[in-house]
Structures are given as C-alpha cells and as structure tokens.
Structure 1
Amino acid sequence: MNNNRSWMYERTDESGFLNSLFISGVEEFMNHVISQPTSMNGTSIQCPCTKCKNRKFWNSDIVKLHLLKNGFVRDYYIWSRHGESYIFNGNEDQSSANYSNVARGTDGNNLMYNMVIDAGGPSFDPHRSEEMPNAEAQNIYNMLNSSERELYDGCETSQLAAMAQMLSLKSDHHWSEACYDQTSQFIKGILPKDNTFLDSFYGTKKHMEGLGLPSIHIDCCVNGCMIYWNEDIDMESCKFCSKPRYKIRVNRSTRERKKVAVQRMIYFPLAPRLQRLYASPTTAAHMRWHADHYKEDGVMHHCSDSEEWRQFDRAHPLFSSEVRNVRLGLSADGFQPFGSSGKQYSSWPIIVTPYNLPPWMCSKEEYMFLSILVPGPRNPKQKIDVFLQPLISELKMLWEVGVETWDTSLKQNFQMRAALMWTISDFPAYSMLSGWKTAGHLACPHCAHEHDAYNLKHGGKPTWFDNHRKFLPANHPFRKNKNWFTKGKVVSEFPPPIRTGEDVLQEIESLGLMKITELGSEEHNAKIIKTYNYGWKKRSIFWDLPYWRTLSIRHNLDVMHIEKNVFENIFNTIMAIEGKTKDNAKARADIALLCRRPELAIDESTRKYPKACYSLDKKGKEAVCKWLQDLKFPDGYVSNMGRCIDMKKYKLFGMKSHDCHVFMQRLMPIAFREFLPNNVWEAVTELSLFFKDLTSATLKVSDMCRLEEQIPVILCKLERIFPPALFDSMEHLLVHLPYEARIAGPVQYRWMYPFERFLRHLKNNIKNKARVEGSMCNAYLVEEASTFCSHYFEQHVQTKHRKVPRNDSSGGGESFEGNFSIFSHPGRASGCANVRYLDDREYMAAHNYVLLNCPEVAPYTEYVLFFLNHISMSMFNSFLLILF
C-alpha cells in the first residue's frame, strides 16, 4: 500500500487542469485493481468515484473515465473494496489516511457494509482471512451481500437499508405483522421488476437474524417450581410438584398429536448485547467514559464517582484493571398488561442496564436490555429465583471467564467481563429479589431485627412512631423529652450498626436457609421461618455470584415509590381526604394513649374530635384546589394537574409518581404557606427540601452527610405534629436514603422512573393479548434491530430516537437584532397568529424575566429593584428608554 495517497483528492492544479500526480495515481489504482481478482466481478469493477460511491460495477475503461472526471469518493485512502485489508502496522503514515473514517465508512454504502462487519467482529471481514467462512460467518456475509445489493438498478437505497427502515416503522408505530406484510407487498408491487425488496415480515426477520441478537425459549413448570434447563432439560415432569411438562395438542384436520410445552419463559442472552455496545461506533468509545471523565473529590455526578464503585475496584483489582469491563444494574417489576378492567394477569420482565455509559446515555431506553420474561398469569413471588437461573449463570461466566469482544473504537480484541452492582425495585419486589421480608415489624432491611416498630392498639397497623430519636446525636435535647413524643419515654439507644455483605451471608447460612431452586427448600425454609422469625425467607440466588458478598448496597431502596407514598400520606392528611387521611377516630384514640396532646382529645360534651392544626378547613382546601387548577407549568414539566382535581370533594386523584415528585419538591411549601401554622409548615418544607437535595443530579458527599444528620430531626419534628398512624415503613425508610446516596451515588441511576417508562413501552407493544410474552418478545427484537441499524443509517432510517422535539425551533425562526441579547434567540411560529394585550400581571412577569435573564441589565440590578419598588410602570419604562 502506498503510504501517501494525498494525490487522490488533489485532482486539479491551480490552473484547473488535471494534476499529473492524480493521473499517474489513477493508473496505479487501475493496475492494482486488475491485479486483485477478489475485487473483480467478472469483467466489471466497483467504481469508487464520487457519484457511484462503490455501489455500481463498470468495466475498467468507464471506471477510469469516472475517476478522472469526478474524483474519488471521500476518505477512500484504503482501497478496501478493491482488495486491500484494514490491517496496518504502526510504521505506516496515518496522517495521510483517516483510518477511523475508513474503517467505519463515510458514505451510506460503507455504513451498511461496516454494520455487518461490526455485528460479527473483525474476524468476519472477508479480506482479513483466507479460510473458508463457517456457518455463522456465512450469515454475516449474506447480510453483507444484501447491504451492497441495490433494490433495483439505479436505486441508491440498498436492500438492508430498506429493511431497517421498515422495521423502524413497525417498531415506532406498532404495526401488526399483517399490516407489515400488506405494506411490504404493496411497496414491492410498485417498485420496478427484479427488485430485491422483501415482502413479508417473516422473511425480513429471518434475514436480520444475522445481527446476532438472539432469544431463547425455555420450558418451565406451570407452577413456577423449576425450568427445564441444563441437567433438567430432558425431564418430562416437574421434580417438585410432578406436574407434566407438555400437553397434547391434536390437529383437527390430520388428527396428528403433538407435544406442546405447558409454559415457557423467554431468555435474552446478555453477552451478545454487551458486545454490541462495543461493536457499534455510536457507543464503543462512550463505554470507557466512567474511567476517562474528570472526577472531583467529594462530588458525585455518576455512579462511577461513588464510594461503592471505588470499593469494588479495591476489592477486585483484576476486574477494575480493564476499564472496558461492564458494571450492571438489574431491575424487576410486574405490571398488568390488560389494565384494571381485564383479567388478572401479572407479567414480570427482568431488565439489565450498563453503568459504563455517560449520564446523557445511561439508563436510557435504548440501553436497557430486556433479559428475562417471566411467564404469567401469576406473580412469581419468591420463586422468581427459578427464572433468574440462566441470567445468574451467564453473569457468573461473564465474571469468571468473560467473552472475547471487538472494540471498534480502539480496533482491539479484549476479554470483556461484567459484574452486577445492585438491583433496583419497589419494596414488594425488594423482598422477592433479596429474600428479606418487607412487611410487618421487620420491614426495614437496614434495621432488621433491631427495630422499635410496634402495632397500634386502636389502628391495628405497624408504626415506626418515635423510632427516630435513636438516630439523633447523643446530646440532642429531643432524646430526653418526655412530653413531645411517647409519654414519659427517654431514648438512650443508638442506631443499629451497618451490616456488611459478609455479615448478612453469615446470618443466612447460620439459619440454614436454602435456595428456592433446591429440592425440599420450600418446606425446609418454612420451618426455619416459623422457628426463628428473623425476617429472611430464603437464600437469594444472587449470593451465587462470587462478588455479591463484597458489595455494600446489593438492593436499593427505591426513592421514587418512597417519595410518592410519603407525599400521599402527608398530603391526604393535611387535606383531610376521607378514607385516605391518617387522622381518624382510631388515630385520635392512639394519640390519647401514646402522646400528651390535650388539644386533640375528644370533646366529652359533643363527642366530637376538634380540628387538628395540621389539617385544613373547607375554605383552605378550596383555595388550594383552586390555586392548583389555575396553575400553569412549562411544557413537558408535569402532567396537567388541573384534570386531577375534584372540586366537589376537594381532593386530588389519578396523580402519577412524577406528579407527586414535582408537588412534593416544588409546590408543597407554596401551597400550604398561608394555611398551616409555622411549626407545621416549617417541618413539611424541610421534608420537601430534603427530597430536593437528595434527588439532585449532582451530589456532594458533605451534603449527604448533612442530610444524614438532618433527616432524624425532621422526622422527630413531624412526630411532634402528626398522629402515630402516619409513620409506617415508608416514612421510616427516609432515615436510610442519605446513606445509600452517599455510598452509591445519585439516585437517578438507582430509582424506578426509567424502568417504569420502559415497562409502559413494553405494555404498549402487546398486540396479541393471548400471547403476552411472545408479543413482547417479537416487538423487542424488532426494536433492537431497528435501533442497531439506526446507528449506521443516519440519513436513511428515521427512528423515534432521532425524532425532532416538539418545541424545537430548528434554528429557522426569525431573529431580532437589537441591544438586548435576550431577544436575539431564534424561534418559529406555532398555530394561527392573533393579537392580545398583556394584563398588568403578565406585563410585570415579562419585565421580571427580562431583568433576571438579560446580562445587559445585570450591572444596574440595584437601580432596577429600587425603581420597581418606588415608581410606577410608566416611569420605569421611560427610565429604560433613557438608559438604553
């Protein structure tokens, strides 16, 4: 190979005539092509001119004429389509050849070609190996041929690009297979004859299987006792309950009898999907972001900045020595695919997501991998470990051995390993994954059996009231107060010590608990639970991972659901919503029994309870609801809360988790400022600010230490005000959230919001209600292929991931030149134009916005504030005209 090919793009000299170096270079190129039989197609040659772009074949004379007339296609320094390999040694002149562009391709045809090479790794490049391709490689070559095959003569779109666009349309718009087939047949019919367009979804799916994104169907017991896998693959009945594996299905026409599995789970192997992240040029370099980005001491922008990440590196230096090894998070949650009106059916997807990616990519939908579909219709509960077996086995393999992976950003092969950092789930699923009982007095997994929870005498439910003074400093005055909390009680205890993974595993092993996948485990574990009642239900399958015991936080408390539950309890109690408030007759009876609050005691003459200071009267509730009804939010910030208000009963209904999140952190201090006493409002506001600081995108370790000290005080202030019935397990778990954030980093990577959105997307993909899991599986595989292709066909394939935002100005609007930079931003018109004069309040809001956001006004802020407070609007306008 000639090391200096700059002549390829210096076709003419200063006078406009063909350059002699270019002419001799074209001769050199033609001689090279003729000497390479692999680049010939009979007597035809791929033409690399700027118009043909290696997509058309001509004889040598026409190719030479095209090159002299049009020049070479951009960045074709390495003649890969004409017999040269991508391999080069370190002594070659890389300045004369942009190898990164060449290896990945720049024109649409090269992108299609390299997509296939990326999917199969470098060993699939036909120019790098002289051996005959194996069956797996042949599938890649078939796709390679389709990427170079035009739909018809003269068409610039290839067969693969057309298939990718069709799959994208099916995925984005939820086409049924019948709709896809009919559309494909229509398109094929209107194209010229002898086109290569595939006219069925089945044919397209078979063709795209070469991308290597598989799914495995595994038979399982109808009761969820076992899966027919590994050494049990040949069994005909369940070894636990003896239920048959198959049912007999008879063909009505032929009377042929066929065995059909009673139930199946679907497993999506993880390793190929992680390899795809390094095979794609869109994500390969980003997978090293966690190690390359700037890290500021005491500041956490990402999980990789956390103490847990660094502690894992110290405990496993061999794993951390390769920065391309992958850290994972796992989420499990169930949903009802038929809604509340359909039949009872519980579907449980298991989702895995990598944490190597930067914040703007991490936990996004396209980088969440559906790993397991647990079959319905029943909730698997503690038997979820049965369905996790293939994933845990693969995670063990990825930890101990790894898989050889091609890193396209560095052009290297490396042994990729992976580790699961933690799980993310709501509180019921927390119990299913960890094996810890999350109901009753032992609900808190941090406090475990060293709790102070008890049942209310009249309310009958567990409460953690007055359970937080022990988290206060030793000299705090609340500890010795006998009047504000439980009558006559002084607290001298301290919080329980933090248990390590070794401590937890030692406790489980000392109890003798077994894995749910072992024979006789159900009866054995039930006997131990009845005898000891320690809170453990089983030995979780995650303990099979060799590194699981070294982790500080193995299962995360979900801030999303905790915040929602705390908000609903406090808001419903303040608004005194019937049936949902924690302040009722039983609660008042418990207050009289536990606390010294004579102002809340029953009036013996009327036998009625007086109004509490923490609840609003009818006038206050009406004002709050009216204010919420008229409140306006930025587009996309929150849902329309005006539609969630019942003005007859003065209550809110149908609020989503994100609505509660916004209300808790932004609106609650404002909504109740004028209606609650100062001590109540201050305590509620401090709780609101606690959640706001906890869920910040960037966390400081010092701030989390401060929150660890503040939250017990906040909870004690609330205990002084609200009834004991308010303080269930959700309110208690607030004590442990700052610790988890300090150890594991920002909560945005460890809460359920992204996974709940992904579950909603899966639910929308279910079109065949008779085959819920199969419908989700097909839709997910189509989306995977569509997303993978969209990384390559940026111009040809438009997917939802590349959709224009609804408020995007596109830079095409009219801009206004003037003295104020705030008016220079482009915009675009929307809808029909009309003229309306601003009222005084809107006019003042516009003025304030200009003053707060215009840098030209900043030096005169003091004068502006003075004039706003002492002069009229007309005088102020005159002042601005004089000033500017």
Structure 2
Amino acid sequence: MSSKTAVDMRWHFKDRVKDGVLRHPADAKAWKSFNQIHESFGMEPRNVRLGLATYGFNPFGNMNLHYSIWLVLIYPYNLPPGMRMKEPYVFMTLLIPGPKGPCHDIDVYMRPLIDELQILWEIGVETYDIYAKQNFQMRAALLWTINDYPAYAYMSDVMHIEKNVFENVIGTMMSIDGKTKDSLNARLDLQEMGIRHRYHPEEGDNDGYSGNLSQCMNALERNIFGKKTHDCHELCAKVLREDDLNLLDNQIVITLCKLEKIFPPAFFDIMIHLTCHLAWEAKVAGPVQFRWMYHVERYLHKLKTYVRNKAHPEGSIAKGVLGDECLIFYSRYLHRVETKFNKRDRNDDGGQPSYDTSPLSIFSTPGRAFGKGVCHLSKNIRTF
C-alpha cells in the first residue's frame, strides 16, 4: 500500500462523520448489514470493498465503424468521497479486444478475475501497511457491479431473461411492429388453455372501419392525432360501458376525465415506481453517484485519446494506461515538482484570501481582479 493513500483506506471507519446523513456507502444499510453478517471482515477497516464496472466502447470515436472493445474496471470504496471515483483510483483489470464484443462469452474472459476475487475474499493476501508499519491479511469483497442494461444482459442469464421480458412487454403495450406478442396465435393459445376468456378471439365482420389507435398517439407530447370518427367511437367504447354511450353534452368533461385514466396514469405509475425504487436503492446502497455510469464514460473518453495506432487500439490503450499509472505513482513522491496532485486549484488564481465565513470551500477560494483596478469615490467609500 502506498504511504500517500494508506491512511485514506481507513477513512470510512475512522474519519467518516456518523450523524445519520447519507454521504457514503458506509452510511447505507447494505454496508452495515454486510459487516454484521461477516463480522471477521468488518472488524478490519483496511479490508477493501470493491465495485466492478463493465462497459463496451468504440475506441475510434467513429460510430460508422463497428469496433467494440470491452474493459472491466475496479473501484475501491474505502476512500473518501472526493477520491473514490477519480481516475488515479480506477484500476483497469481486463481489456477485452475487439473488433467484436465478447457477448455472452464474457464470463470466459472474466474467469481469472473471478478466481482472484474469490482468493481475496476467502483467504486474502499478506499486505504491508506502511502507515501502521505492520503486516496484515487484507481481504476484499465485491459489493456490486456498475453496468448499463446491454452489459447486464451479458453479465447475468437472469438479466438476459429480464431484458427479453421487458422488450416483449413494451413491444406488446406499444404495438411495435415485429415485436408485439399480441397476435392471433397468442389469442388462440389462450383459448386453447381455457384462460383469460376476455382475450379470446371473436369472429366478426372485417370492415376495417377503425385504425390502429396506438399509431395516433404521441406519448411525449401527450397528444392524440389523426383520429377518424369511428376511431373516436372505439376509443370511447373502451372507456365507457355500452349503456353510457348516449351521454348528454354536459357529460363531456366526465368523459375526458375517464380518457385521462387510460394513458397518463400508466406512465405516472411507472415513474412513481421508479422514483420509489431509486429512493429505496439509495437508502440501501448509498448515494447514487457512486454507482452510476457517468464516471465510467468519462474514463472511456480518456482511453480513446490513447489510441495513436489505429491498427492496434488495444495495445495503445494498454500502453497509455500503464504509463499513466507510473506517472501517478511517481508524482506522489515528487514534492518539489508541480504535478496534478500538488498544483493549485484551477479556481485559485493567486489573489488575496477571502474572509467569507461560508462553510462551502468554493466561496473562500482566493481570487484577483481581472484587468487593472479602477478607483471609484462614493460617499467617502473607496471600492475597487
């Protein structure tokens, strides 16, 4: 362990403010419950909690050229919030070459990493803590993975099935051509099984007087357009009972209210369910910014700048990452040389310190005037 970061690996246990506010994954239920279940692991604050991110990207930045490189990143969660998701503390463990993505064979590439994670969890490795000047058996636990939905489909058989179910449900609800499962054969299957009688096909005159209502709706603008007279009749028939079709004109408002019960609430229910799920997830796992893809995508942008030889993009990326890691390690011990770790903040322009008592550090940053100062006299008060 580096002498410059060894003390930070205890931050979650020693320096974290424990006032009930959710600032760090260690404040969440999952972290605390994990320590209670695995007491031997939780008693050693230097044991590492990890997050694993998987993502595929085009190294050339040209969407017209199909080339997919996949990488696996490791994030240590013991560090303070200001350090955890930064580039110096991101470890690229796997770089799966292209031009085609690994798809469902990604588990073959990840097998060595899984074996190492199992060793770190079950046995651990002997590590020298340069801060405490002693050896200890360091173990590691993988808390969660960070992926987008296509990567989830490759990382799990369960997620692949869930992805197919999701696409089938959405395709059926929105009546997407080629993806909807609401077909005549599906209705005949229901009739043969003797279930859901209201969905059984019925023989009738095929006069085609009503169009496809799903093609007459814009969900984003909440607008219905291109309706014919019989389309409106069919839409009302879906909302009202047959004996309510002879409503008086003063009941139009009630009819519109019933129409609103068809479309918007379906989307509102989804949004409410999603919001409740995100709130529950934050309460269990901690602040969401430590599990989202934004940091991964920013890191991918940096990796693309390493591709100097387009004939060997994987080699260019590996060489760039290795050189960057060496420079990061050397810069920690160069005290008299300006590096990105000891240079002044980008908002610090060398002015006089501010006497602002605000608790936010951004308002106490030293600053200086832009250009030459001008003296103004107003009521015996000089201002610049």
| Cα distance in 2, alignment partners of residues 301 and 719 from structure 1 | 40
Q: SS at the partner of 1:414?
A: strand
Q: SS at the partner of 1:328?
A: strand
Query: What per-residue deviation string (whole Å, max 9, x for no partner) do you get for residues 22-75 of structure 1?
Result: xxxxxxxxxxxxxxxxxxxxxxxxxxxxxxxxxxxxxxxxxxxxxxxxxxxxxx
Q: 1:324 touches 1:416 (CA, 8 Å); kept in 2?
A: yes
Q: 1:595 to 1:424 in 2, by over 3 A?
A: farther
1:592 and 2:235 equivalent?
yes
> What stretches of structure 2 of length at least 5 have no aligned partner?
182-217, 241-255, 356-362
Equivalent residues in 2 for 1:132-531, closer than 5 Å: 278=1, 280-296=2-18, 298-435=20-157, 436-437=159-160, 438-442=162-166, 455-456=172-173, 458-459=175-176
| Cα distance in 2, alignment partners of residues 825 and 353 from structure 1 | 30
Q: 1:313 touches 1:319 (CA, 8 Å); kept in 2?
A: yes
Displacement after TM superposition at 1:828 (Å): 1.7
| Cα distance in 1, alignment partners of residues 6 and 295 from structure 2 | 22
Displacement after TM superposition at 1:358 (Å): 1.0
Name the structure 2 match of 1:741: 282
Q: 2:56 touches 2:68 (CA, 8 Å); kept in 1?
A: yes
Displacement after TM superposition at 1:294 (Å): 4.5
Displacement after TM superposition at 1:452 (Å): 8.0
Displacement after TM superposition at 1:329 (Å): 0.1
Q: CA RMSD in A?
A: 4.0
Q: 1:804 to 1:342 in 2, by over 3 A?
A: farther
Query: What per-residue deviation string (whole Å, max 9, x for no partner) do you get for residues 281-333 of structure 1?
Result: 22101101111134536432101111111111122112122111100000011
> What stretches of structure 1 of length at least 5 have no aligned partner?
1-277, 444-450, 464-570, 577-581, 598-612, 614-717, 816-822, 836-876
Q: 1:458 to 1:404 in 2, by over 3 A?
A: closer
Query: What per-residue deviation string (whole Å, max 9, x for no partner) do you get for residues 202-222 of structure 1?
Result: xxxxxxxxxxxxxxxxxxxxx
Q: 1:349 touches 1:373 (CA, 8 Å); kept in 2?
A: yes
| Cα distance in 2, alignment partners of residues 824 and 801 from structure 1 | 20
Give the residue type in structure 2 aligned to 1:777.
A
Q: SS at the partner of 1:333?
A: strand
Q: SS at the partner of 2:151?
A: helix
Q: SS at the partner of 2:84?
A: coil
Task: Work out which of the residue numbers 305, 316, 321 in structure 2 matches 1:780.
Answer: 321
1:751 and 2:276 equivalent?
no
Give the residue type in structure 2 aligned to 1:441.
V
| Cα distance in 2, alignment partners of residues 358 and 320 from structure 1 | 18
| Cα distance in 1, alignment partners of residues 365 and 76 from structure 2 | 38
Q: 1:353 touches 1:368 (CA, 8 Å); kept in 2?
A: yes
Displacement after TM superposition at 1:383 (Å): 1.4
Give the residue type in structure 2 aligned to 1:573.
L
Q: SS at the partner of 2:351?
A: coil
| Cα distance in 2, alignment partners of residues 833 and 720 from structure 1 | 65
Displacement after TM superposition at 1:728 (Å): 11
Give the residue type in structure 2 aligned to 1:456.
M
Displacement after TM superposition at 1:801 (Å): 4.1
Name the structure 2 match of 1:811: 351
Identity %: 43
Name the structure 1 match of 2:214: none
Query: What per-residue deviation string (whole Å, max 9, x for no partner) do you get for residues 692-744 of structure 1?
Result: xxxxxxxxxxxxxxxxxxxxxxxxxx9776486x6898886444222211111
Q: 1:303 touches 1:745 (CA, 8 Å); kept in 2?
A: yes
| Cα distance in 2, alignment partners of residues 377 and 414 from structure 1 | 43
Name the structure 1 match of 2:308: 767
| Cα distance in 2, alignment partners of residues 584 and 462 from structure 1 | 22
Displacement after TM superposition at 1:361 (Å): 1.1
The structure with the largest strand share of the pair is 2
Task: Work out which of the residue numbers 314, 336, 357 in structure 2 matches 1:795.
Answer: 336
| Cα distance in 2, alignment partners of residues 374 and 312 from structure 1 | 32
Equivalent residues in 2 for 1:673-684, closer than 5 Å: none
Give the residue type in structure 2 aligned to 1:382.
H
1:827 and 2:367 equivalent?
yes
Displacement after TM superposition at 1:829 (Å): 3.3
Query: What per-residue deviation string (whole Å, max 9, x for no partner) do you get for residues 415-463 of structure 1?
Result: 11111110011111122212312434346xxxxxxx9877136455679
| Cα distance in 1, alignment partners of residues 53 and 237 from structure 2 | 40
Task: Work out which of the residue numbers 220, 240, 247 in structure 2 matches 1:573.
Answer: 220
| Cα distance in 1, alignment partners of residues 298 and 220 from structure 2 | 29
Q: 1:771 to 1:730 in 2, by over 3 A?
A: farther
Query: What per-residue deviation string (whole Å, max 9, x for no partner) do you get for residues 114-169 of structure 1?
Result: xxxxxxxxxxxxxxxxxxxxxxxxxxxxxxxxxxxxxxxxxxxxxxxxxxxxxxxx
Q: SS at the partner of 2:46?
A: coil
Name the structure 1 match of 2:195: none
Q: 1:441 touches 1:462 (CA, 8 Å); kept in 2?
A: no
Equivalent pairs, count: 311
Q: 1:441 touches 1:454 (CA, 8 Å); kept in 2?
A: no
Q: 2:60 touches 2:307 (CA, 8 Å); kept in 1?
A: no
| Cα distance in 2, alignment partners of residues 728 and 760 from structure 1 | 36
| Cα distance in 2, alignment partners of residues 321 and 292 from structure 1 | 12
Q: 1:754 to 1:825 in 2, by over 3 A?
A: closer
Q: 2:6 touches 2:131 (CA, 8 Å); kept in 1?
A: yes
| Cα distance in 2, alignment partners of residues 301 and 824 from structure 1 | 23
Displacement after TM superposition at 1:351 (Å): 0.4
| Cα distance in 2, alignment partners of residues 360 and 286 from structure 1 | 11
Displacement after TM superposition at 1:806 (Å): 3.5
Q: 1:309 to 1:397 in 2, by over 3 A?
A: same
Q: 1:756 to 1:426 in 2, by over 3 A?
A: same
| Cα distance in 2, alignment partners of residues 807 and 302 from structure 1 | 26
Displacement after TM superposition at 1:834 (Å): 9.8
| Cα distance in 2, alignment partners of residues 333 and 327 from structure 1 | 20
| Cα distance in 1, alignment partners of residues 89 and 6 from structure 2 | 12
Q: 2:332 touches 2:341 (CA, 8 Å); kept in 1?
A: no
Displacement after TM superposition at 1:803 (Å): 4.5
| Cα distance in 2, alignment partners of residues 594 and 458 from structure 1 | 19
User: Structure 1 length as normaliser, TM-score?
Assistant: 0.32
Q: Which has the higher contact order (CA 8 A, sep 6+)?
A: 2
| Cα distance in 2, alignment partners of residues 401 and 390 from structure 1 | 16
User: Structure 2 length as normaliser, TM-score?
Assistant: 0.69
Give the residue type in structure 2 aligned to 1:747.
V
Q: 1:318 to 1:826 in 2, by over 3 A?
A: closer
Q: 1:333 to 1:730 in 2, by over 3 A?
A: farther
Q: 1:442 to 1:572 in 2, by over 3 A?
A: closer
Q: SS at the partner of 1:404?
A: strand
| Cα distance in 2, alignment partners of residues 720 and 285 from structure 1 | 58
Q: 1:323 to 1:457 in 2, by over 3 A?
A: closer
